[in-house]
Amino acid sequence: MSPKRTLVLASTSPFRRALLEKLGIPFETLSPEVDESRHPDESPQALVTRLSEAKARAGAPAYPDALIIGSDQVAVCHDEILGKPGSHEKATRQLAQLSGQRVDFLTGLCLFDSANGHLRVDLVDYAVTFRKLTPAQIERYLRAEQPYNCAGSFKSEALGISLFEAMHGDDPNALIGLPLIRLVTWLNEAGINIP
């Protein structure tokens, strides 16, 4: 299956790339040069939709006749955006904080047609409820997976699934950072037939 137009993923995330590869269509990737700083008083929802659009638009100079996918995600618990822990100690604290809590993963998705400027932007929410975690469970998990570059200190596509009590949402791919159900609808409407 070959799209009539060039399809571009404006992301260097190996997780988003692997998700898009599941669709079996050719695509290229680019590293969008976008300032990801949060604006003062900007809601998490506004942040991810703004950044997904900015990432998609950032690819237009290099790809003036393409369909460009932009995506951005934040994890939110009690109105606080969870960052990437970066270290074992911070991940331990973060998972202890998330024990028994619901975390919402807000993913902004954008499909930008650089040839005509047509833009589609949406927000997809997917949530998880963490089990009550003991310090020993947290330690074993972190030693096994070392998810220090993942917001929320876990990888749901791997052993991190064992930390959850429940998952809530329409598209589990959104949890990993690219809502494929919404994206496939948009791509089909843009003339890229999947399947």
Question: Quick one: DSSP state of residue 99?
Answer: T
Write down the catalytic residue from 35, 41, 72, 104. 72
Respond yes or no on whether the N-terminal peptide bond of residue 195 is cis (omega within 30° of 0): yes
| Nearest Cα residue to 13 out of 73, 85, 76, 62 | 73
The phi-psi region of residue 153 (left if phi > 0; otherwise alpha if psi is between -120 and 50; otherwise beta) is: left
- The encoded tokens of residue 130 equal 């963490």
| Rounded CA separation 159/33 (Å) | 32
Residue 72 falls in the annotated catalytic set: yes
Residues 165 and 23 sit within 8 Å (Cβ to Cβ): no
- Which stretches does DSSP call E strand in the chain? 6-10, 28-30, 66-77, 80-82, 102-113, 119-130, 164-168
Just list the catalytic residues: 72
